A and B are shown apart, each in its own frame.
Chain A
Amino acid sequence: MSAWVVLTRPEGAAAAVRAAAAGGAVTVLAVGPRELADAVASAGADEVLWLEPQPGFAIESCAPQVADLVAADSPQLVVGGVEPQVRALLGAVAARLGAAVLSEVSTVRADGMSFVLERAGLGGAVVQGVRTVGPVVALLAADEDEPVDGTAVGVRAAEAGATAPVRVVRTQAAATADGLGTALTVVSVGRGLRSRDDLAMVEQLAAALDAQIGCSMPVADDLGWVPKDHYVGRSGQQIGPRLYLALGISGAPQHLEGIRRAKVVVAVNSDPAAPIFRRADYGVVGDLYEVVPALLDALGH
């Protein structure tokens, strides 16, 4: 039995290998520059295979060849992440293997001839155990950034093969708000704030915590209280601070997509049923107009 991990970024490699190990000996197929393959060589796999798009071509151009390489080994389990590039590759693999496709997978366990995969269903409201008999492609939930300390295995370059016509025309560096992307602490405000003037209070809290200011989309887009490059979410900034403090933010799934990598999430919201409390580690159910001054006090300001 064998299993494959297909990846286009080093983040989450060790977690992917660990999940794939349920399927037997693990081959990592790293698609991208050589440094990527070297970076994942110690992620715990039995073998690392490296494939680079031809000059000027996008990662997606490798899809047919990735499908060829993986299918030649007939693995029962193929694991990958959720970035657009890797999903394009995994789609080609799934089609070639006639595999089941499961997303939001957290763990994989072998059980006789089948696999049982645990996945988050309904946006995390339930954990489902799904059984598959036959090949399965598992898209892992989050890319956990844990250190890898395995011994490095040798990297073998794959021979050039079939290419799909997808070229890179240009890449424009992302417009990240100054400091927001790298901030250790982010204080973020939503429509629970009643007026622009009240932002002063939030700024005071941010100063006390040495934090950057973030916000939900409507606060930047509709209200224009905070610059647009400060809103957090699928369409805005995707950040991974050590502490994310959400004030008067309901926690819409599109907003939560921006804080998948955040370590500790704190929510202050007057509605105990606000979905943000499901994602948060700590919470205060209350009026932010009372809680923020109290927090300033508690912090000694």
Chain B
Amino acid sequence: MTTVVVHTWARDPGNALVRPDGTVEWRSTKLVPGEDDPAAVSVALGIASARDDELVAVTFGDADPSWALARGAARSVVVADASVDEDEAGVAALVAATVRSVDGVDVVVIGDSESHPGVAGTVAGLLGWPVVLGASTARWGDDGLEVARRVAEGVQTLAVAVPAVVAVRADQAESRAPGMKEQLAARKRPVQRVSVADLEVPATVAATLDSTRLPATQGARLFDGSPQEAARALVGALRSEGAVR
């Protein structure tokens, strides 16, 4: 069976320029790896290698497939003409259709993105597979995958039968980026380019941007003056709010 990791499926919000009128200009729409993607690849690699199978990376548009290949994926599938925007159901539909096009997939690992929290669950819904979101680790157990994740009550370990989707939340930044050797090896690994027309992407309801504005509260009320003046004014404000006695 095949394990798939989905990576680099969103734009870099750092490339969005917010104009004074609240409209947004994307200086670049290039897709960049999400902050959870390194952790997702690492979890997926653990799952795949524990059963001696290859890890297949899936990505889109102008994403760099060698990013996952250098981190241990054996091959990559790129939906080259896919345009990925902020529509979460649309992204999920594209991901699910791409997964379906890869033979024998029974585990999909994807980053559980804070800024796109609706994607991973919808991917699972479209595939009709069970899902565990907010996962920190996953390994094979007696009944499929044992996935640990943090919830309000503590750390919960769940057993999920495959096929399944595991959505990973990173706990920290990647500790070690691939070195030159891994980068070179990545270039030799196969990259298969497919087109959206080759996939059966389910239709979703379109969401259109009607308006965009700056938030009503523009950040903190700042206290100026000398540190003493600022501190006194701050303590006064906090006292009148009842936040400080």
Contact = CB atoms under 8 A, between A and B. Distances in A.
Interface residue tally of chain B, by bracket?
Answer: 35 or more
A117 to B, nearest CB: 8
Nearest to B133: A84
A110 interface: no
A151 interface: no
Interface string B119-155: 1111111101011111000000101101001111111
Contacts of B228: 294, 297-298
A139 B237 contact: no
Contacts of B119: 101
A125 B18 contact: yes
A89 B120 CA distance: 11
A234 to B, nearest CB: 7
B210 A92 contact: no
B131 A264 contact: no
Residues of B contacting A: mostly: mixed
A91 B171 contact: no
Given A128-B209, A284-B223, A165 B152 contact: no
Contacts of A281: 220-221
Contacts of B237: 282
Contacts of B144: 165
B169 interface: yes
Contacts of A103: 88, 115-118
Contacts of A254: 35
Interface stretch (B43-51, B63-71, B184-192, B197-205): B197-205
Contact of A116 (B22, B152, B210): B210
A91 B243 contact: no
Contacts of A127: 22, 212-216
B160 to A, nearest CB: 5
Interface of B: 13, 16, 18, 22, 24, 35, 86-89, 92, 112, 114-126, 128, 130-134, 141, 143-144, 146, 149-161, 167, 169-172, 202-216, 219-224, 226-228, 230-232, 234-235, 237-238, 241, 243-244
For the complex of A and B, the 9 pairs showing the least CB-CB separation, nearest first, are: A91-B121, A95-B125, A84-B134, A294-B231, A283-B220, A165-B161, A134-B205, A84-B133, A129-B211
Given A67-B125, A84-B151, 11 more contacts: A88-B133, A121-B24, A122-B13, A165-B130, A166-B161, A170-B157, A172-B156, A185-B244, A280-B220, A294-B231, A295-B234
26 contacts: A60-B158, A61-B130, A64-B128, A83-B152, A84-B132, A84-B151, A85-B151, A87-B121, A94-B89, A94-B125, A98-B204, A103-B118, A120-B215, A127-B214, A128-B210, A131-B209, A132-B205, A169-B146, A171-B155, A172-B155, A277-B222, A283-B219, A295-B231, A295-B234, A298-B232, A299-B235
